Structure 1
Amino acid sequence: MNMSQNRQESALPRCPGCEEPLEQGDLFCGACGYDLSAVPEPPPDRPTVAIATPGPGTGAPPAGAPGAGAPHAGAPRAAAPSGARLDGPARSGDFELAAPGAAAPDPRLSPKPAQAVATAPAAGAKLCVACRAGRVDGDGYCENCGHAQPRERDHMEQELGSVAAVSDRGLRHHRNEDSFAVSTTALPDGSAAVVAIVCDGVSSASRPDEASAAAASTANESLLEALPRGTHPQQAMHEAIVAASESVNRLAQEPDRGREPHRHQNAPACTLVGAVMASGLLVVGWVGDSRVYWVPEDRSTAPARLTEDDSWAAQMVATGLMSEAEAYADERAHAITGWLGADAYELEPHTVSFKPDRPGLVVVCTDGLWNYAESAAEMAAAVPEDAYERPLHGARVLVGHALDGGGHDNVTVALLPFAVSPQGAGSA
């Protein structure tokens, strides 16, 4: 939209503030309100890198798999393994770091360039997230202070019974590529089952936001169909991950904004991690580097991480080439070796079943959170004391912890309080 005829026309393909596409002649970004009449010299191009993978049917095993030839202890530090995709906060093509000591600007709160006219909000009208007083107009701007409002997916919250989840775009990405699903259902014996699925879109892939949304929704629906039929929760989790993978694979066959289907080249991709509490069991399933942590309600008891990353860093630790601290401090740490997508190797869902003997809190999260609380002890320290009774509040606090730490990535966390009956059997 042309906001003024007195300013020079923009020739930029994308907005410097939020990366939204621009049209010739735009003087302000319609998404975030960025003033395009005074655009600084563009920085050098630093695109997100995805390491090429062999096409389907090549039979090449992933690095670190049996027969792949693990590097010997005296070998030089390895590059990201063949078959890895780069994901995580070091993706320079996804965000621009602020200057040292400078606060990162949040395009969600960019002011609207046009003069705003204060209008008293009508009853039930959507209020501005910035001033909490003005009504939001049809273009998504506050009529009182002029600030652009967050897109619906920029910040999402859901509370369902005792399970709650929060997802936020973070401070450096131009969109939220994470997704989640939480639900409850009844088992054949009448007891309750609680489900939480968290997915992280791979930013070096195309349409990562669509991939994570499809995977989370499909996995959740699969579990809600299988558990009431009496399927064992661990088997149900395995089937749910397979179903989620198939839903992401189908995205590669769909045209991308009028273009040809991806045909397995840079296909939509995401990670997935999920937890099910049912019949005294805690079942965890995952592909990728999103994680599940166990934080006992009694903080004198040691917490634990319940998942192992499909990542370059995990492979370096497993082969003894690096300590965990060294591996996760390396810039290649977030090169993932397992994901959902048409260009992934043969799917290998991980599932584990636990039977906790004490109450605790299950933390299901993307690396946008655990980057700022990596060890189990650090995660437990970040979880507020009342999160067991107030899971939504606890999830909000954990997202805030990541944002306070820098918010380099999208942040998503689901919290599931796990209770134990007097007879010692866990219950959801």
Structure 2
Amino acid sequence: MSAAKAPKAQRGRHAKGAMLSYGSRTDVGLVRDHNEDSLTVTPPLFAVADGMGGHAAGEVASEVAIQSLVAHAPHTADGDDLARAVVEANRAVIRAAREGLGRQGMGTTMTAAVLDGPRMVIAQVGDSRAYLLHQDRLQAITRDHSLMADLIESGQITPEQAKTHPQRSVITRALGSDPNTLPDIYEMTVEDGDRLLLCSDGLSGMVDDDLLESTLIRVGNPQKCADTLVDEALAAGGHDNITAIVVDVAAGAEKRVAKERRRGRIGAVLVVLALIAVLAGAVVGGNAYLNHVAFLTVQNDQVVICRGIPGEFMGFQTWKVERNTGLSVDDLALPPNTASRLTEEGIRTDSVEDAEELLSTWQAQAEQAQGSSSGAAVSDTSDQASTASSDADASGTSSNANEASGASTSATDNSSTEGGDAS
């Protein structure tokens, strides 16, 4: 069934070497008519890109990004070098749209991993994910750059509500939209027997983590495992393009020892030069990062949007106020836990634009809550007015029995009329 619906499906070869084995598959799914996902399995580099922008745009963006990544990616697990390769991929997508390849507005996610013996580094932009199966326990390595992830983190919605939220497909960071986009970098040590999964949201959005974990444990061959994961997403509905890369890690102790010996022969001058380069890169990268990220907090009882991260570094303040919103915490009617976090530590976002969007969401929710409260208050006031009118008419009864009867009838009519208006 999937083969008939997915003529563009591809299967990666199960490759074995001294260090690792892997398998991969991408499938158009059961709803879309074209595949906007792209991937690369070129050890030590593995990457998934999920394009967006519609036909003749999304697939162009993801393919351009992958080609650029392959051309610039490092051959060792170096976080700075991998970040630079992703930055180059972002520029390539922007340049392609400007030159008429694809179209303006196209973009793509990217999640890339470089495995180098016991070291692994991952770069991520968007909501394509990386998972690590370690000692039969599945761990999510990356954090989605999406509106749903921000709302869940700020306590606005639950993960269950996010699955059916009308804005669940909104991504807050992607390649191709901003020349200053930077990836999140994750560096870690892996062990023999660990298994890496890279996937687009066509898999993670259709198959829950428990089933991902059990499949990664149960299916030993990485190619068969990638096929099985895609089949499970198809069985669940296949609402989006689906891509999965499964990599088995063997840390390679012998190679690691040799590598350490080579490092031991590096001269002191090279070490000093490398340290200077790292420090310079850290300063440049740090400034770029601080100018990109943002957070919301409270100053002088008013909510403010700040660029940077809260706190200080070596005596220097690492943030600045971008905008005073003029709103108080009470104006936003935030839940107690969210209001406490906002006041005490601030709520971080990936950019000032994301902070503005989160603030808009809070304002919309506060206005909705205020509208409901005002409606209830109007109803209570009308009911009280109706009761008072009835009591007043009853207390003013005339000594004449006929007049009393007429007054009572009049009071009843007025009460019915006002009650109807109130309802």
Q: Pick the TM interval, shorter chain.
A: 0.5 to 0.7
| Residue of structure 2 aligned with 1:320, choices 130, 155, 158 | 155
Structure 1 position 256, deviation (Å): 5.7
Alignment equivalent of 2:32, drawn from 157, 167, 173: 173
Q: CA distance change for structure 1 residues 216 and 319 in 2, over 3 Å: closer, same or farther? A: same
Structure 1 position 182 matched with structure 2 position 41: yes
Which of 157, 162, 165 is matched with 2:11 structurally? 157
Structure 1 residues 334 and 255, CA, compared in 2 at 3 Å: closer, same or farther?
same
What pairs up with 1:2-401 in 2 under 5 angstroms? 109=4, 151=7, 154-159=8-13, 160-161=15-16, 162-184=21-43, 194-204=44-54, 207-223=57-73, 226-227=74-75, 232-255=77-100, 262=103, 266-296=104-134, 298-299=135-136, 302-341=137-176, 343-344=177-178, 346-357=180-191, 359-375=193-209, 377-383=210-216, 385-387=218-220, 390-401=221-232
Contact map agreement 2:131 2:140 (CA 8 A) in 1: yes
Higher CA-based Rg? 2
RMSD: 2.7
Aligned to 2:348: none
Structure 1 unpaired stretches of 5+: 1-104, 111-149, 185-193
**Native 8 Å contact 1:197 1:220 kept in 2:** no
* Aligned-pair CA distance for 1:277: 0.8
Question: 1:202-241 deviations in whole A, cap 9, x for unaligned?
Answer: 1458611111111112112212xx32xxx65212210121
The answer to whether the 8 Å contact 2:91/2:179 transfers is no
- In structure 2, how many angstroms separate the alpha carbons of the residues matched to 1:400 and 1:325? 23
Determine what percentage of the aligned residue pairs are the same residue. Answer: 24
- Kept after mapping to 1: 8 A contact 2:117/2:255: no
Deviations 1:126-164 (A, max 9, x none): xxxxxxxxxxxxxxxxxxxxxxxx64xx11122243122
Task: Give 3-state SS (helix, strand or coil) of 2:42's partner.
Answer: strand
**1:109 shift after superposition:** 4.2
Aligned partner of 1:196: which letter? F
Q: Distance in 1 between matches of 2:254 and 2:166?
A: 48
Looking at structure 2, the residues matched to 356 and 310 of structure 1 have their Cα atoms a distance apart, in angstroms, of: 25
Q: Which has the higher helix share?
A: 2
Provide Cα deviations, 1:180-204, integer angstroms capped at 9, x if missing partner: 01112xxxxxxxxx21110001145
SS at the partner of 2:98? Answer: coil
Cα separation, 2, equivalents of 1:203 and 1:408? 17
Structure-2 change in CA distance of 1:173 and 1:205 (3 Å):
closer
Go from structure 1 to structure 2 and tell me whether the alpha carbon gap of 1:424 and 1:309 turns closer, same or farther (over 3 Å shift). farther
Distance 2:65 2:214 in 1: 30
SS at the partner of 1:416? strand
Aligned pair in 2 of structure 1 residues 314, 405: CA closer, same or farther (>3 Å)?
same
CA contact (8 A) 2:200 2:243 kept: yes
Secondary structure of the equivalent of 1:252?
A: helix
Task: State TM-score, norm by structure 2.
Answer: 0.55
Deviation at 1:173, TM superposition (A): 0.6
- Report deviation, 1:339: 0.4
Following superposition, which runs of at least 4 residues in structure 1 exceed 3 angstroms of deviation?
203-206, 420-427
Distance 2:227 2:257 in 1: 26
Task: Tell me the distance in 1 between the aligned counterparts of 2:133 and 2:101.
Answer: 42
Alignment CA distance shift 1:372-1:416 (3 Å): same
Structure 1 counterpart SS, 2:67: helix
Amino acid at match of 2:24: A
Whether the aligned pair in 2 keeps the contact of 1:178 and 1:410 (CA below 8 Å) is yes
The residue number in structure 2 matching 1:69 is: none
Question: Tell me, which stretches of 5 or more residues in structure 2 are unaligned?
Answer: 259-423
Q: CA deviation at 1:383?
A: 2.6
Residues 118 and 191 in structure 2, CA contact (< 8 A), matched pair in contact too: no
Q: How many residues align?
A: 253
Bigger fraction of residues in strand:
2
